[in-house]
Amino acid sequence: MDDITLRIATANDYDTLGQIMFDAIHNGPTKYSSAQSKAWAPAPRSGADWANRLSQNDVIIAEHEGEALGFMSIEPGGYIDFVYIRPAAQGSGLFRRLFADVEHRAISAAETELSTHASLMALPAFTAMGFDVDFHETVEVDGQELARARMFKTL
């Protein structure tokens, strides 16, 4: 997909981002059970709490011919909070494109490190971008235990 455009998401995009997240978790390849996926995202995120959380970050949205395909967010301090790509766009290099933009923003902001808590699905993509695993952990979400890894990359 050569004609992908990246831009900063606005409040008008937030419900769409919640739908992308839900789509990626429930319809993409996964290493989590259906019960774990349901706990993680029982419904597409929307509303004031979701908007407030996104508004604290730079959220980069990727679009192809006006259709939102994925997004990545970075907080001040270099923490990558959200990365979700629609199943149809996974494996297309979109993660790499979003990450290059986020990394450039972090370097421009004089950040010295990027970090994230990567799901089992995102771990290989972050590893390919030069991240190292700091530690593995399990978090409890709505009665389900979800494995993830805290990862970092020195800039």
Per residue in 58-93, pLDDT (tens digit) is: 999 999 998 999 999 999 999 999 999 999 999 999
- Which CATH number does 4-112 carry? 3.40.630.30
For residue 132, the model assigns a pLDDT of 98
pTM to 2 decimal places: 0.95
Per residue in 10-28, pLDDT (tens digit) is: 999 999 999 999 999 999 9
Statement: residue 1 has pLDDT above 90: no
pLDDT-derived band at 38, boundaries 50, 70, 90: very high
Burial of 26 per CB tally in 10 Å (0-12, 13-18, 19+): middle
For residue 20, the model assigns a pLDDT of 98
